[in-house]
A and B are shown apart, each in its own frame.
Chain A
Amino acid sequence: GAGVSQSPSNKVTEKGKDVELRCDPISGHTALYWYRQSLGQGLEFLIYFQGNSAPDKSGLPSDRFSAERTGGSVSTLTIQRTQQEDSAVYLCASSSGTGGETQYFGPGTRLLVL
């Protein structure tokens, strides 16, 4: 596609439920990033995938958060046993992965945990 796409655009869930958020990066981009943006705040790095290398998970806030990237393209961010503080916008970005290049962002998934 022309840009990074994410789904769903909005998700409302109950505390304790699991959620899956999907990211489709720009075709050909080998690097993929997940960020979290709380209301009125900046972007918090979560996880980074580069090609077939082991992902950089250093930003994941707890073991309830996990992400995978199948076939080097689509990525899924999973939050288990959601808590109210998980409510935020989850943004995905991709880049060509050659180093020093621009990250292109998707529109985000707005997650609300009741």
Chain B
Amino acid sequence: GQQLNQSPQSMFIQEGEDVSMNCTSSSIFNTWLWYKQDPGEGPVLLIALYKAGELTSNGRLTAQFGITRKDSFLNISASIPSDVGIYFCAGLDNAGNMLTFGGGTRLMVKP
């Protein structure tokens, strides 16, 4: 079946540093999504990408949909303590119904 490989699995950074994480897939997705999960909560959508090559920003977050439609990255600039959490990439299948999730990147920010 489809699988998403997300890296790194965890990051421990200093407040103010930039962060980059990425996902790769063995197959093509038509939509890539990035979610953040805070402790004890469900995932919340951060950014959605719909077109190959698309670069989208949301405040300090920037994400790109790879031109091959098999990869995506998420950058966080000038990290702050509230950025702590688990970030998941997810690919939406061609029918637009099923999400496949990456394993997550656990981000820890040192004040």
Contacts and interface: CB of A to CB of B under 8 A. Distances in A.
Contacts of A71: none
Interface residues of B, number: 27
A104 B99 CA distance: 12
A100 B92 contact: yes
B98 A42 contact: no
Nearest to A99: B96
B42 A105 contact: yes
Q: For this complex, into which size category does the number of interface residues on chain A fall?
A: 20 to 34
A28 to B, nearest CB: 17
A99 B103 contact: no
A21 interface: no
A100 B42 contact: no
Interface in A67-114: 91, 93, 99-108
A48 B98 contact: yes
A101 B44 contact: no
B31 interface: yes
A91 B50 CA distance: 25
Query: What are the nearest 10 A-B pairs in CB distance?
Result: A105-B42, A99-B96, A100-B96, A43-B101, A42-B103, A42-B101, A105-B43, A107-B42, A42-B104, A106-B42
20 contacts: A33-B99, A35-B101, A42-B101, A42-B103, A43-B99, A45-B98, A48-B97, A91-B42, A93-B42, A99-B95, A99-B96, A100-B30, A100-B50, A100-B92, A100-B96, A102-B45, A103-B99, A105-B35, A105-B42, A107-B40
Given A42-B88, A102-B48, 13 more contacts: A31-B97, A33-B99, A40-B106, A42-B6, A42-B103, A43-B43, A43-B99, A56-B98, A99-B97, A100-B50, A101-B96, A105-B44, A108-B40
